[in-house]
Amino acid sequence: MLQVNFIRENKATVLEGLAKRNFANAETIIDQVLTADENRRATQLELDTILAESNKISKEIGALYKSGQAQKANILKEKTGQLKESSKELSEKLNVFSEELDALLYQIPNVPHPSVKAGKSEEDNENIFSEGTIPDLGENALPHWELAKKYDIIDFELGTKIAGAGFPVYKGKGARLQRALINYFLDKNIEAGYTEVQVPHLVNTESATATGQLPDKDGQMYHATVDDLYLIPTAEVPITNMFRGNLMQETEFPICVTGYTPCFRREAGSYGAHVRGLNRLHQFDKVEIVRIEHPENSYQALDGMVEHIKNILRELKLPYRILRLCGGDTGFTSALTFDFELFSTAQDRWLEISSASNFETFQANRLKLRFKNSEGKSELAHTLNGSSLALPRVLAGILENYQTADGIKIPDVLVPYCGFDMI
């Protein structure tokens, strides 16, 4: 979440950024934040003054008892009792103001980076890069859901029988290709300097709140209510929370972590060709990259993440483009996001397969993730993450773009991982 000091000192900048996001009632809620903060600070000052006076009197009482002036000491003891009662009331009042302030801050999204343009939806995103050749598949090209059925590699109906729509079953060479992609992505990330981890697939409320999924996406996550745990929507959540509450040294930067997890999202479920097959799922696999960076280096790191994802798509020889998201399409926690989209030739449309984002201090403030700067002062770190890559639509793109009259050719770079070159 945004820091109150930043809001107080940069109100105009914050309002300008929130306007890019079309954030409703921005000025009203910012004014409420500042009022709540003023009340909190005034109450804190009053409480600190009373506590200081109480400590001072306590020392005087001790001195009076030692010097045999018990009567005077007892009079002062009565006063400390009054001060304790006042401090208790002020502490309760302070808690109310603090909770009110936090509740307001949780509603406010991150301020977009200056390069982010204003916009309302994905139609306003900027296409900043494209690469790769879109293959000419002819008139008989099939979408991936028909290819999956033809070659018996993904069974959507069986998944519906077991769990419901949005939970496919991968079979035979389909399952092996899925596993090959996971291993290939992880190997590429490790080669680039990321440390692999295996993390829990469920997280507690503190973790989901720290990375910004709660309360913003409450209702979009699967919630195991008996244990109050959430199935993760992405590995970003448990991986980033590995560093929650840490106080780091500058010499520890950068921290680069990668991990594979299944991901669970309840928001899938609309109808139409744009969500058929693997286009949108409730459960899917993804390999994630997460970075903890010094604020001075975070945007250079973001550029490096973008180049890393580019290299993977070049090796897969898939046509793709990169979009810089507009304010209205940028995620709640992100300051700047680049989306990667793969061209699905059989569907004649672009499919999002990855995003790389810099959250600046927004997550770190919730995480209480800090470092000691060169002056020895505590400062918030920057957090970043990216999909490297989300598997369903990459798999869909491979099936569609690599289809031939004889079957589906496997990209050369994946053959050693698959153990076969054709489905």
Residues at the binding site are 234, 265-267, 288, 352-355, 385
Asked if residues 398 and 336 have their Cβ atoms less than 8 Å apart, the reply is no
Burial label for 139, CB within 10 Å (0-12, 13-18, 19+), is exposed
Phi, psi of 214 (to 5 degrees): -115, 140
Asked if residues 30 and 6 have their Cβ atoms less than 8 Å apart, the reply is no
| Pairing between β-strand 247-249 and β-strand 370-372 as defined by DSSP bridges | parallel
Asked if residues 34 and 14 have their Cβ atoms less than 8 Å apart, the reply is no
Q: End-to-end alpha-carbon separation of the chain, Å?
A: 48
In what helix (H) or strand (E) does residue 260 lie, and over which residues does it extend? strand 255-264
Nearest by Cα to 372 from 242, 240, 247:
247
Cα torsion 154, 156, 162, 163: sign: positive
Question: What is the rounded distance in angstroms from the CA atom of residue 283 to the CA atom of residue 258?
Answer: 19
- 141: Cβ–Cβ under 8 A, 6 or more apart, which residues? 345, 346, 400, 403
Q: How far is CA 171 from the centre of its chain?
A: 31
Asked if residues 9 and 371 have their Cβ atoms less than 8 Å apart, the reply is no
Phi, psi of 151 (to 5 degrees): -100, 5
Q: Detail the residues annotated as belonging to a binding site for ATP.
A: 265-267, 352-355
Q: Detail the residues annotated as belonging to a binding site for L-serine.
A: 234, 265, 288, 385
In what helix (H) or strand (E) does residue 263 lie, and over which residues does it extend? strand 255-264
